């Protein structure tokens, strides 16, 4: 039986906000992968992207995923691009049920528009980049997901409750 939950989905889907609430409700430890990457690099995510590039960021992401993947009884908020390397999902799935938090481009745009500097991948034309990246990544998210929750019309607490409902009788889907 898998005892952990990994939240995947695009930037702004609510992985961190939902993850914190979910971990508290379930009495599990909350882990944020982006923070671990920043700690490991001694730099912020935008600094890593600007100074070392996306490929270096993805290497760090693979290392951190490997470190957290075996942990039991944790809720992991993954970075939005974790699905791009299949090895990450294979590792996470050993101990975690993978929950895809889904939201349409216009909802994502509203949620990320505020923190422009924090999202190095979105550049200046955020609306266009979100659409492009989302359509490219859609199959990756769908293939990785054990279960999917549409977060566009739900508040944080309701998403967490829905995840609890989904995983309750279903600790080992797929």
Is 95 a binding residue for ligand S3P by CB under 6 A? The answer is: no
Which backbone phi and psi does 4 adopt, to 5 degrees? -115, 165
Is 104 a binding residue for ligand S3P by CB under 6 A? The answer is: no
Strand partners, 28: none
Q: How crowded is residue 80: how many other Cβ atoms within 10 Å of its Cβ?
A: 21
Is 80 a binding residue for ligand S3P by CB under 6 A? The answer is: yes
Is 19 a binding residue for ligand S3P by CB under 6 A? The answer is: no
Instruction: Please report how close the Cβ of residue 80 comes to ligand S3P at its closest, in angstroms.
Output: 3
Instruction: Please report how close the Cβ of residue 110 comes to ligand S3P at its closest, in angstroms.
Output: 15
Q: Residue 10: which of 146, 119, 153 has the closest Cα?
A: 119
Q: Residue 79: which of 123, 133, 117, 32 has the closest Cα?
A: 32
Among the listed ranges 65-73, 75-83, 93-101, 146-154, the one in contact with ligand S3P (CB under 6 A) is 75-83
| Total interface residues for ligand S3P by CB under 6 A | 10
CA 8, chain centre distance (Å): 3
Binding site for ligand S3P (CB under 6 A): 11, 15, 34, 45, 79-81, 119-121
């Amino acid at each position: 039986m898998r005892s952990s939950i990994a939240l995947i989905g695009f930037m702004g889907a609510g992985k961190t906000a939902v993850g914190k609430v979910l971990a508290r409700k379930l009495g599990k430890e909350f882990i944020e992968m982006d923070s671990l990457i920043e700690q490991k690099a001694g730099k912020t995510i935008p600094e890593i992207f600007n100074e070392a590039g996306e490929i270096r960021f993805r290497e760090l992401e693979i290392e951190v995923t490997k470190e957290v993947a075996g942990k039991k009884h944790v809720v992991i908020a993954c970075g939005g691009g974790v699905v791009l390397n299949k090895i990450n999902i294979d590792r996470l799935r050993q101990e975690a049920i993978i929950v895809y938090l889904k939201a349409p481009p216009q909802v994502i745009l509203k949620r990320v528009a505020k923190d422009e500097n924090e999202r190095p991948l979105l550049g200046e034309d955020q609306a266009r980049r979100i659409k492009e990246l989302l359509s490219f990544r859609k199959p990756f998210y769908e293939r990785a997901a054990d279960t999917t929750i549409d977060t566009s019309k739900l508040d944080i607490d309701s998403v967490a409750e829905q995840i609890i409902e989904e995983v309750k009788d279903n600790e080992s889907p797929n």
